Amino acid sequence: MNDITKFPDMFSSWWPKSFPSSFPMTFMWPSLLWLLLAVPLLVAVYVWLLRRKKKASLRFASLSIVREAMDTGPSFRRHIPPMLFLLAITMMLLAASRPFAVVTLPMQQETIMLAMDVSGSMRATDVLPTRMVAAQNAAKAFLAELPRNIKVGIVAFAGSAQVAQIPTLNREDLVSAIDRFQLQRGTAIGNGIVMSLATLFPDSGIDLAQLQYGQKPRGVAIDEKPKEKKEFTPVAPGSYSSAAIILLTDGQRTTGVDSLEAAKMASERGVRVYTVGVGTTSGETIGFEGWSMRVKLDEETLKAIANKTQADYFYAGTAADLKKVYETLSSRLTVEKKETEISGLLALIAAALAIASAGLSMLWFNRIL
């Protein structure tokens, strides 16, 4: 049986190969564009019919009959329905050629992981009322802006990292998880990234304890050999479009997996890590349970993480800036420009033009064309 998909290639030797690359659209079946030559032919037939009708009308003796034969409407208005119908035919012929164009569409992004710093440095007040409260408020505002079909998970990290909320569509559960944050000692930024990756890829064998302490994977006895890991093949940075990580922290790592090593793991899996710096570069001295330290924003590390994963770094020096950052992230994470087939759109336009043509003809002349 012949493959029907090969039909459009029957004229391929006649079609100029360079045409699609110089045209605003590209076509899967460019050979069918030859059918557009029928459009000027239809225009010529229409003009011929008008002249023929005019000549025929001159045979009538009565001037009133002549006027009736040549239509009673304005001269330009009687050409509008045929013109719309001709445009409809043009759209249908273009649709038959399977056109592609770069359009802005919702991304096929299914999951976003919020990795949020809950270390003691987040109690600093250089972002009012505190870094932590401002981050919580901005995160909740971000959730409200996201489309409801995007899952969101939350990882909280300080000296260690825990999944505060598995990816879910339930925004109320996410807000409750954010409100339950408790400040702890230590800042393990790399752990937050690794835990987010382990949540996104639960079957990939990512084990945080093994990475940080060299321990055997969980569930493996001391005298038991661990199972062989599945072979991992790195992908291009930023190529994984089904998930992303948003890392919110002041960037000062004090323990845990190296931040850039964790960023490398994300990069090799194609996951973008958008980083949001909370605080000021000058910092602030804070005290807690008898100890004090100066905490300031480490922008260089956060920029390096974002660059390594083909993402972006955002600075949030105030609560208002932080909210704007999250609004920007919401926009970036939910739309993208993508080359997409638009045959259906052109067919819809063709149908609308055909209906308009018939409707105007009936309204003005009590007949279709």
- Label residue 98 by pLDDT band (50, 70, 90): confident
**For the chain, what percentages of helix, strand and coil (3-state, to nearest 5) are there?**
45, 20, 35
What pLDDT is attached to residue 11?
35
For tokens 């964790």, the residue is: 262
297's enclosing H/E stretch is none
What pLDDT does residue 326 have? 79
Q: What is the pLDDT of residue 83?
A: 87
Give the pLDDT of residue 172: 95
Residue 295, CA distances (Å) to 115, 119, 152, 195, 277 in order: 19, 11, 29, 24, 13
Cβ contact 338:300 at 8 Å:
no
pLDDT of residue 369: 62
Structure confidence at residue 190 as a pLDDT band (50, 70, 90): very high
Supply the mean pLDDT for the chain: 79
> How many percent of the chain have pLDDT more than 70?
76
Q: Is the pLDDT of residue 38 over 60?
A: yes
Check if the beta carbon of residue 168 is closer than 8 Å to that of residue 153: yes
What is the residue extent of each domain of the chain? 7-103+340-365, 107-217+234-317
Asked which of 50-54, 95-99, 116-120, 296-300 is least confident by mean pLDDT, the reply is 50-54
Distances (CA, A) of 200 to 24, 196, 242: 38, 6, 10
pLDDT of residue 7: 36
Each residue's pLDDT tens digit, 306-336:
999 999 999 887 777 877 877 777 777 766 6
pLDDT tier at 362, thresholds 50, 70, 90: confident
Please determine, for residue 357, whether its predicted confidence score (pLDDT) is greater than 90. Answer: no
pLDDT level of residue 13 (50, 70, 90 thresholds): very low
Pull the structure tokens for residue 224: 């038991």
Answer left, alpha or beta for residue 270, where phi above 0 means left and psi between -120 and 50 means alpha: left
- Assess whether pLDDT exceeds 80 at residue 104: no
- Who's near 257: CB < 8 A, 6+ residues apart? 188, 190, 191, 193, 194, 208, 211, 212
pLDDT for the residue 21: 40
| Per-residue model confidence (pLDDT) at position 293 | 67
Are the beta carbons of 265 and 193 closer than 8 angstroms? yes
Of 169, 207, 161, 194, the closest CA to residue 268 belongs to 194
Nearest to 345 by CA among 107, 98, 106: 98
Residue 334 region, left (φ>0) first, then alpha (ψ -120 to 50), else beta? alpha
- Tell whether pTM > 0.75: no
Query: pLDDT tens digits, residue range 147-177?
Result: 888 899 999 999 999 999 999 999 999 999 9
Distance CA 159, CA 254 (A): 8
**For residues 162 and 82, is the Cβ–Cβ distance under 8 A?**
no
Tokens of 311: 């993402």
Q: Which tokens sit at 37?
A: 């030559």
Q: Which residue has the higher pLDDT, 11 or 262?
A: 262
Q: What is the DSSP letter of 268?
A: H
At residue 4 the predicted structure's pLDDT band, cuts being 50, 70 and 90, is: very low
CA 335 – CA 105 distance, rounded (Å)? 5
Residue 259 CB contacts under 8 Å (≥ 6 apart), including other chains: 189, 190, 193, 253, 301, 304, 305
- The Cα angle at residue 162 between residues 154 and 312, in degrees rounded to 5: 45
- The tokens describing 320, both together, are 């208002």
Residue 275 predicted with pLDDT over 90: yes
CATH class for the region spanning 107-217+234-317 = alpha beta
Structure tokens belonging to residue 321: 């800036």
When computed from its CA atoms, the radius of gyration of the chain, rounded to whole angstroms, is 32
**pLDDT of res. 346:** 87
